[in-house]
Amino acid sequence: MPVIKIECDELRRLMRTEMSDAELMEKLPLLGCDIEGYDGRYIYAEYFPNRPDLYSVEGIARAYRAFFGIEPGLKEYSAGEAKNFLIVDESVSGVRDFVVACEVENVRLTDELIAELMELQERLHWALGRDRRKVSIGVHDPSRVTPPYRYTTVAPDGIRFVPLGYREEMTPRQILEEHPKGVEYAHIISSFDRYPVILDSRNNVLSLPPIINGELTRVTEATRRFFIDVTGTDLRLISQALNILATALAERGFTVRKVEVRYPRQSLTTPDFSPRHMKLRLSYVNRMLGLRLEAEEVKSCLERMGYGAGLNGEELLVSVPCYRCDIFHEIDLVEDVAIGYGYGNFPASLPGVLTTGEKLPLEVLCEKLRMLMLGYGFTEVMNLMLTNERENFSRLRRHGEAVRIKNPISEEHTIVRTSLIPGLLRTLRLNRHRELPQRIFELGDVVLLDGDAGAPRRRRLGVAVVHDRASFTEIKALLQGLLRDLGVEYRVAPAEDPAFITGRCASLLVGDDEAGLFGELHPEVLENFELEFPVAAMELEVEALELR
């Protein structure tokens, strides 16, 4: 989650409050953030991914003005009528289909404000854009270009321009191959025959989205106007990103002006600051929260959270601000009612039923395994369950299927892991600068695709040892000692697995069930994980040991 650097004096000015730094740090978590630090001038706060409208000091100040009753209710914004338009060429269809835009006037900038603006862009790229794949924002100084603008595509070598931060002209192909940003984000568009660009009426390049802007439209302290484009593959998401950015600039007193976006078969005028309207049942609020709130109390809670709310009998008509992209269902409104009410104000009560809890047998066994591994001198690590096919399969020379994430936030987290070994090897790679030997283990879940069972979770024990003499013999001796101390009867049989060296890999059999795999990892696997010494590893099915 992004950590927002908040200058205390700037926050007070935008909030129109005289709170001390200590009071700010005490109050900020009430809307859902963790205070990560304070250096006498700045507060460092981590806000949750579902509230990208709080990724700037302007958005934070707006939310807290409502929450503390300084400016409760719906904050309304207006945008001036469009003076310019952006033509969308049909060739972008299937490449990067959508674009929205706006202009901002009466801009007053400092180096620090420019840096904050760039940081907000990158946070929105992360939260809404899935690392620019779905949303990419360009902020330009339009003083050296001539409207109308055109969103189209060009051949990889079909145009030349100076990318931001460079002095020499480059083609789009060269940018993807040589420019740091091009190399980092090339995977988004490199598979296409033509690349998206935004041009002015004289074919000057404003940007090569989602890679980089042109140096021609660089924003500086002298900039007095912005042209902002947001491109992507989802019209709803890019519209939300534009609204969040444009309203943050409006909070600074800058003037936002619409742009007409002319698609081949329709025209849009963006940004659209009009609120969405939803109904919220009073009975539903009280049932979900276990409270007995009156309609006026719920209305007041919503206004503290920046909503507009009107009463209609047993329902409330709620106006959702244009910058809130996390509200989809009644329950989302209920959550904000709870925050507005204050979790500290909920009445405390004891459970109506007396129960006695105990650990599940699986957890008891895991605790025993953990104590044994620590006793053997191993260090426990914990890795994310989310990974990617390259690390989970390819780097282990394996092939397979895994549960895929429908909307991954980055290219690094696209599937749910099916093995613990890749995470252990990644941990060893990150600790290459530490002295050897290194002995680590993890007790964690994997998720496997099963045609009959769907996608069951499995608890596993993963172990890895790295040093100049790590071998099959060492990992086998560890396994034998572990099973001896558990009192488990077992057999060992030869096995073949592409992640391990042929002839130095075996499977563990408990009864008639295969309960794990162990051996010495293949040199190609070590090379894939940038490891320079032999690694012996094993992975056991904990459930296979549970009932023995």
State phi, psi for 465 to the nearest 5 degrees.
-130, 130
What's the confidence (pLDDT) of residue 211?
95
Per the listing, tokens 């296979």 go with 544
Task: Copy the structure tokens of residue 61.
Answer: 């100040």
What's the confidence (pLDDT) of residue 407?
72
CB 383 within 8 A of CB 373: no
Q: 3-state DSSP call for residue 365?
A: helix
What's the confidence (pLDDT) of residue 353?
83
- Cα within 13 Å of Cα(261), Cβ side: 27
String of DSSP letters for 238-307: HHHHHHHHHHHHHHTTPEEEEEEEE-SS-EEEE---PPEEEEEEHHHHHHHHT----HHHHHHHHHHTT-
What's the confidence (pLDDT) of residue 527?
94
- Domain 276-342 is of which CATH architecture? 2-Layer Sandwich (3.30)
Q: What angle do CA 186, 123, 139 make, to 5 degrees?
A: 70
Q: What angle do CA 527, 533, 535 make, to 5 degrees?
A: 85
pLDDT tens sequence across 235-270: 999 999 999 999 999 999 999 999 999 999 999 999
What's the confidence (pLDDT) of residue 546?
72
Domains 3-67 and 276-342 in one fold: yes
The CATH number assigned to the domain with range 3-67 reads 3.30.56.10
Task: Copy the structure tokens of residue 310.
Answer: 């009107």
- Which strands, in side-by-side order, build the sheet including 276-281? 276-281, 315-320, 308-312
* CATH fold for the domain made of 85-270: Phenylalanyl-tRNA Synthetase; Chain B, domain 3 (3.50.40)
What's the confidence (pLDDT) of residue 547?
53
List average pLDDT for each run of 10 residues in the chain, which is 548 residues long.
Answer: 87 92 91 89 88 94 95 95 96 95 95 92 86 90 96 96 94 95 92 96 96 96 96 94 96 96 96 96 95 94 96 92 94 96 89 84 93 95 93 92 81 90 95 92 92 84 94 94 91 93 93 90 94 95 78
Residue 87 to residues 136, 273, 367, Cα–Cα distance (Å) = 18, 22, 63
Helix count (H) and strand count (E) of the chain?
16, 25
Cα dihedral 4, 6, 12, 14 sign = negative
DSSP-H helix ranges across 55-187: 57-67, 111-127, 172-178, 180-185
pLDDT tens sequence across 434-475: 899 999 999 999 999 886 768 899 999 999 999 999 999 999
What's the confidence (pLDDT) of residue 169?
96
Residue 40 to residues 6, 15, 25, 26, 489, Cα–Cα distance (Å) = 11, 19, 12, 15, 62
Residue type, 519: G
DSSP lists the bridge partners of residue 540 as 461, 516
In 10 A of CB 148, how many CB atoms? 14
The per-residue pLDDT of the chain, averaged, comes to 93
Right CATH number for 361-546 from 3.40.50.1360, 3.30.360.10, 2.102.10.10, 3.30.930.10?
Answer: 3.30.930.10
The structural domains of the chain, with segments of one domain joined by +, span 3-67, 85-270, 276-342, 361-546
Task: Copy the structure tokens of residue 10.
Answer: 């700037």
What's the confidence (pLDDT) of residue 406?
79
The DSSP bridge pattern shows strands 85-88 and 255-262 to be parallel
Closest CA to 542 of 423, 365, 383: 365
What's the confidence (pLDDT) of residue 213?
96
Per the listing, tokens 């001390």 go with 20
The C-alpha atoms of residue 162 and residue 319 are separated, in whole angstroms, by: 45
DSSP lists the bridge partners of residue 427 as none
The C-alpha atoms of residue 1 and residue 305 are separated, in whole angstroms, by: 22
